[in-house]
Amino acid sequence: MRFRRTLIAAMVSFTVLAGTGAAAAGAAVSDEQIAITTPPAGSKAWTQDHSLGRDLPNPAKATAAEVAAFFASLTTAQQQRLVHAYPLVVGNFDGAPLALRYQANAIAMEQELATQKARAADTSLTASDRASAAGRVGMLNTLLTPGRQILAFDPRGRGLVAEVYGNLSTAQRVSVLVPGSDMDLAHFERTDQPLKGAAGMAQALRAEEEAVSPGTSTAVIAWSGYVTPVGLGADAATARLAEAAAPRLESLLDGLKITSHPETAPSLYCHSYGSVVCGIAAPKIDAPQGVTDMVVFGSPGMDVSDAADLGTGVRLWATARNPGDWIGNVPYLEVAGLGHGADPTSTDFGSRVIASTGANGHNGYLSPGTASLRNFADIALDRYQDVVCSNNNGGCISGL
């Protein structure tokens, strides 16, 4: 069965590569990735810690509300003891106070930095392993720059990370950027091609929001909090990793209900394979501030037949594909678990299709001056009447 899945996925990949020209040269069919579905390191010791005279909330089971109530019941000294003893647990606990999470993740990254520095200098390791460690050292040093707000960090596997831009606790509008394939700690921030990294995409969105409405306080989260597919292969062609990621995204949103207080529900911006994650998570999204705007771009499908399958908690916006986006060569179908179903931009899918004029390529939708980036900002800011529809007839904002 695994051989069959890999073979068919490779055929899908070939279909994509056949239409991508130069982009095909850098693409490859990948091995399957191992999804991270368990709590971070230190969780077992955390659950066995009774130094406070009571049970600590179980990282595998506790709700964000339970986590928030627990931390609120602690003294400052007790909070600090837990932050220093279990930085990975506290740093990844949705519902925990934001300041504690930022502090805990800084500690966890310092610890991982020391580990990777030692590995980079260890001559008993292969040259490849030392180079990988050196690369991680560089990224960790960047993320440890004073003032950065790391909302989540997990060094397992290829590394998971989420960062906040803006003041999340006071923002009037909150947006979450869910990236697609090939995103991990090493590729979270790309100085050479910023819009290929989750950090660069999130920063571009927030900059546009500030330009459109300078008087509105905003926060954008770059959420690389799940194991993504690598390259084009079985993982990219199936929903296996997205199914593992969806509960993590749902947990993030549950935490935001407590730790942020926007005037409208947080908006979701789901790129490429990230739109599969969002599609699977959608039926469980229910924000106290009302309907959540979900914007997909460069989508291979959402693993649903139409927008109605996403439930009533979200309002779906699909971004018209630009001519240079290779994702248009992906077959929009689902057969025996392969493929991600219908095209969200198709006329019968039921989404509100917005313009992407000026965008070019799979990662070009957040480029300055594009209609897509301006539309993303207008949606985040609840300025629906300014949104430009893909056909320019205003149909995508009907009823709003």
CA–CA separation, 275 and 365 (whole Å) = 14
Instruction: For residue 338, give both structure tokens.
Output: 């392969």
- Strands 160-166 and 218-224 turn out to be antiparallel
CA–CA separation, 56 and 175 (whole Å) = 31
CA–CA separation, 327 and 300 (whole Å) = 6
Question: Angle at Cα 319 formed by Cα 317 and Cα 323, nearest 5°?
Answer: 165
User: What are the average pLDDT values for consecutive 10-residue runs of the chain, which has 400 residues?
Assistant: 45 42 41 93 97 96 98 98 98 98 98 98 97 97 98 98 98 98 96 96 98 98 97 89 98 98 97 98 96 97 96 97 93 80 94 98 98 98 97 91
CA–CA separation, 180 and 294 (whole Å) = 15
> Which segments within the chain are labelled E, that is strand?
149-154, 160-166, 173-178, 218-224, 267-271, 292-297, 314-319, 352-354
Kindly report, as residue ranges, where domains of CATH 3.40.50.1820 are found in the chain.
Answer: 157-397
- Strands 267-271 and 292-297 turn out to be parallel
Sheet containing 352-354, strands listed edge to edge, beginning at the edge strand earlier in sequence? 149-154, 160-166, 218-224, 173-178, 267-271, 292-297, 314-319, 352-354
The confidence score (pLDDT) of residue 392 equals 85
Hey, which residues does 152 pair with through a beta bridge?
Answer: 162
The confidence score (pLDDT) of residue 164 equals 98
The confidence score (pLDDT) of residue 14 equals 39
DSSP 356-392: -TT--STT-TTSTT-HHHHHHHHHHTT-GGGPPBTTS
Polymer length of the chain: 400
Question: Angle at Cα 119 formed by Cα 117 and Cα 123, nearest 5°?
Answer: 120
CA–CA separation, 7 and 225 (whole Å) = 28
The confidence score (pLDDT) of residue 15 equals 43
CA–CA separation, 150 and 360 (whole Å) = 30
What is the assigned CATH class of domain 157-397?
alpha beta
The answer to whether residues 42 and 105 touch, using CB atoms and an 8 Å cutoff, is no
Instruction: For residue 194, give both structure tokens.
Output: 């910023």
The whole-model pTM stands at 0.93
Nearest CA-CA partner of 326 in 370, 301, 360, 349: 360
Neighbours of 134 (CB within 10 A): 14
Question: Angle at Cα 223 formed by Cα 220 and Cα 225, nearest 5°?
Answer: 160
The answer to whether residues 262 and 172 touch, using CB atoms and an 8 Å cutoff, is yes
3 state DSSP class of 44: helix
State how far the alpha carbon of 74 is from the alpha carbons of 79, 85, 97, 231, in Å. 6, 15, 12, 45
The confidence score (pLDDT) of residue 30 equals 54
The confidence score (pLDDT) of residue 280 equals 97
Question: Angle at Cα 287 formed by Cα 93 and Cα 314, nearest 5°?
Answer: 115
CA–CA separation, 56 and 221 (whole Å) = 28
